[in-house]
């Protein structure tokens, strides 16, 4: 694989270590890399778009070298602007969103700006990947994910993605040499039991912090979060058509 064109974005913001690491490794491997990312962290914003104000872009330099464009909007805005505006004359081979600080497993994909950026690229007809590194309380090893991506792209070269499908990749936070391969996995039943902590500010006004505990269900290795626990990379194909076909047929049958 030589000289493929890749648009990258994220939800941690354009100055995040993850996207810098991804860009650097892709360029070392000889690819053309273009960056359009949020001006600040937009984690947890999902597939939101900016509708009621203009979006402003800015050229960003890192270490006195042009890095990419920042957008004062959400991850989805970045992909739209990159595709329709800033780089409208470039035919991208891939869009990669990440490398995200923290995993996107189970129900995380419904909230994740990282996955939503990849989803928007998928809706625009591009091959897209979301890549995240699992949090384990240690310094994030973004290099492990970056090294895997440059090798995995070679495997993807001849694979056509189904319509409206992206790949959600989650990488254990270990050294590259400690990885135990990768599995193609199912999206797990993993969700947060929300808890709102009530407090008061110095003026006596109430405010709330969102907290909660994580619950996971299922012990199959084919589930995304279990694969990552085994120091294997989880790769889950995510289809954006959310129709529940089994329930649809049941509903139709019940009308007869």
| Residue 190 backbone phi and psi in degrees, to 5 | -135, 120
DSSP three-state, residue 232: coil
Domain at 35, CATH number: 3.40.1210.10
Residue 208 lies in a domain: no
Residue 126 lies in a domain: yes
Whether the per-residue pLDDT at 247 is higher than 80: the answer is yes
Instruction: Give the tens place of pLDDT for each residue, 30-54.
Output: 999 999 999 999 888 889 898 999 9
Q: Give Cα separations from 142 to 16, 26, 85, 132, 166 (angstroms).
A: 11, 13, 29, 9, 21
Give me 84's structure tokens. 């329709």
Whether the per-residue pLDDT at 256 is higher than 90: the answer is no
Full domain range(s) for residue 247? 5-187+219-254
Residue 198 lies in a domain: no
Residue 207 lies in a domain: no
Instruction: Give the tens place of pLDDT for each residue, 167-200.
Output: 999 999 999 999 999 999 999 987 777 667 888 8
Instruction: Give the tens place of pLDDT for each residue, 79-102.
Output: 999 999 999 999 999 999 999 999
Global pTM?
Answer: 0.92
DSSP three-state, residue 235: strand
Instruction: Give the tens place of pLDDT for each residue, 207-237.
Output: 877 776 767 778 888 999 999 999 999 999 9
Residue 209 lies in a domain: no
The whole-chain average pLDDT of the chain stands at: 92
| Residue 48 backbone phi and psi in degrees, to 5 | -70, 150
pLDDT band for 1, please (50, 70, 90 cuts): low
Distance CA 79, CA 135 (A): 26
> What is the total count of domains within the chain?
1
pLDDT for position 200: 85
pLDDT band for 201, please (50, 70, 90 cuts): confident
Residue 194 lies in a domain: no
Residue 75 lies in a domain: yes
pLDDT for position 194: 67
Closest CA to 95 of 28, 41, 39, 167: 167
pLDDT for position 96: 98
pLDDT for position 193: 73
Residue 210 lies in a domain: no
Report the b/e string of 111-124 with b at 16+ CB within 10 A: bbbbbbbbbbbbbe
pLDDT for position 255: 72
pLDDT for position 172: 97
pLDDT for position 245: 92
Burial (Cβ within 10 Å: 0-12, 13-18, ≥19) of residue 250: exposed
Distance CA 197, CA 180 (A): 39
| Residue 63 backbone phi and psi in degrees, to 5 | 55, 40
């Amino acid at each position: 694989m030589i000289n493929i064109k890749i648009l990258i974005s994220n939800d941690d913001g354009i100055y995040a270590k993850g996207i810098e690491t991804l860009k650097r490794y892709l360029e070392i491997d000889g690819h053309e890399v273009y960056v359009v990312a949020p001006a600040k962290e937009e984690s947890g914003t999902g597939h939101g778009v900016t509708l009621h104000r203009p979006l402003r872009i800015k050229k960003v330099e890192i270490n006195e070298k042009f890095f990419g464009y920042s957008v004062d909007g959400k991850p989805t805005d970045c992909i739209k602007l990159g595709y329709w505006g800033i780089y409208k004359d470039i035919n991208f081979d891939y869009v990669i969103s990440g490398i995200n600080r923290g995993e996107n497993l189970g129900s995380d994909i419904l909230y994740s700006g990282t996955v939503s950026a990849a989803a928007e690229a998928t809706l625009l007809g591009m091959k897209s990947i979301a890549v995240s590194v699992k949090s384990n309380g240690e310094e994030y090893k973004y290099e492990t994910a970056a090294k895997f991506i440059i090798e995995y792209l070679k495997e993807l070269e001849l694979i056509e993605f189904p319509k409206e499908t992206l790949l959600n990749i989650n990488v254990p936070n270990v050294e590259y040499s400690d990885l135990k391969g990768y599995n193609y996995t199912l999206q797990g039943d993993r969700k947060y039991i929300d808890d709102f902590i009530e407090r008061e500010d110095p003026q006596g006004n109430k405010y709330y912090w969102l907290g909660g505990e994580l619950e996971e269900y299922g012990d199959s290795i084919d589930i995304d979060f279990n694969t990552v626990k085994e120091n294997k990379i989880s790769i889950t194909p995510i289809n954006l058509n959310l129709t529940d076909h089994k329930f649809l047929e049941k509903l139709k049958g019940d009308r007869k």
